[in-house]
Amino acid sequence: MSESCREWRGDLAAAALGRLDADERVGLQAHLDGCAACRAELADITPVAAALPAADPAYVTTRSPATVPPPGLAERVLGRLAFARADERRRGRRRIGVVVATAAAAVAAAIGLLVLGASLDSSAAPARHIAFGTAPVGVNAAVDLRSEDYGTEVKLDVRGLDDGEWYWLWLTGTDGRRVNAGTFRASGHHFSTDMTSALPLSKARRIWVTDGADNVVLDAHIGPRASSQS
Amino acid sequence: MDTRAALASDDGVRAVYSAHGPELYRFAVRSLGDTGLAEEAVQETFLRAWQAAERFDETLGSLRTWLFAIIRNVVIDLSRARSVRPELASAGSQESETPVDDDIDRVLAAWQVEEALHKIGDEHRIALIEVHYKGRAYSEVAVDLGVPVGTVKSRVFYALKAMRLALEELGWSGDE
């Protein structure tokens, strides 16, 4: 492109955007016929001009800077992957320790049922017991979830969380929305607490606990109710 | 780069996130219309990427392209799981017959252009928006901006050039 071609650049863009009048088009065409560089420029920007209408003008006219992700998102991504990796390692070990683990789980479940049975109104709906599949080393935690008219009752039983630390309990619904079920402060090496979330149990697909830095500490999937029970 | 290895350490995940996370998040917000769901989409995208990393073939495309292919599916899944999907629904489909896939591709194309517009310089973006999106006369825009008409025309040209580069960085392949 020669120095004189600079003068044509504005018209090249106008041509690509369909903004030249008839006279201007004739003038530009006369130049293009003898200028390969300007033809190449026009070929370069024409598909860009054609792509512009894909944008929604409502999003284009805004002058606000591009949306920035919340600062905690990177850590939550890290947390999710760290637990997935830990879970994978645990599965590897589980093949070896499956008998021991099953026996331990049976004992834990039996204790859980005893504790639960003692505290329950016999007319209440049965609770769902879920152990947190992902948890830091040395932490054991499980919940009993009960469907109520006002949402989901969560009875959390946990040992090994950091003494005095604050934690947040969340449920995630089938629509991906997270709903808080309250906060608690870990005390001692073993404790239980009752919490409530407005999310109906039938719509809950995940239960998880975050710490003060918004890292995911405990995480479990809530599957749909087993079909054998229905 | 070994993607499985990159996603297997916190530092690696951090590096991949800082390179692509914000862009993935913005696409998720744009397509889902909900920041909470968008966060979920980004986390799920990284999880699926890690789970499927052995299948990533860098000879077939960049890590970025691959992550966007994943989040495209994640957004579809989250949209399907949700009865109301304002962004996808407003993208043009009327009721049930139009597949979500078409909607998501339309939103992806829209988002690419909108994202590219954020990446070019202010002077270029303003000239392009005023002239093209608002359909105003060059002379009118020139008066508003207090510059000669030739300057507005030139800015629109360089806006298109910059848009091309920005779009290509976003995986656009507009030359049919």
B54-109 pLDDT tens trace: 777 777 778 888 899 999 999 988 887 765 444 554 444 444 444 567 788 889 89
| DSSP annotation of A134 | B
Closest residue by Cα to residue A223 from A141, A129, A94: A129
Please give the structure tokens belonging to residue B39: 């966060």
pLDDT in tens, B104-126: 888 989 999 999 998 899 999 99
Q: What is the pLDDT of residues A160-204, one digit of tens each?
A: 888 888 888 999 888 878 888 888 888 767 778 888 888 888 888
What count of residues does chain B have? 176
Residue A1, pLDDT score: 53
- ipTM of the modeled complex: 0.81
Query: What does the pLDDT read at residue A118?
Result: 45
Q: Is A77 exposed, middle or buried (0-12, 13-18, 19+ CB in 10 A)?
A: buried
Contact A67/B175, CB-based, under 8 Å?
no
Instruction: With CB atoms and an 8 Å threshold, state whether A67 touches B42.
Output: no
pLDDT lower than 50: segments of chain A? 117-124, 226-230
pLDDT of residue A83: 82
CB contact under 8 A, B113 and A52: yes
Q: What does the pLDDT read at residue A86?
A: 80
- HSE (CB half, 13 Å, CA atoms) of A120? 17
3-state helix, strand, coil in chain B (%, to 5): 75, 0, 25
Element of type H or E holding A130? strand A128-131
Q: Among A56, A69, A174, whose Cβ lies nearest the Cβ of B21?
A: A69
Q: Quick one: chain A helix, strand, coil %, rounded to 5?
A: 45, 25, 30
Residue in chain A closest to B152 (alpha carbons) equals A10
Q: What is the enclosing helix (H) or strand (E) of B103? A: helix B100-119
With a CB-CB cutoff of 8 Å, which residues 88-147 of chain A face chain B? none
User: Using a CB-CB distance cutoff of 8 angstroms, which residues of chain B are in contact with residue A78?
Assistant: 10, 13-14, 17
Judging contacts by C-beta atoms under 8 Å, the chain A residues touching residue B138 are: 14, 19
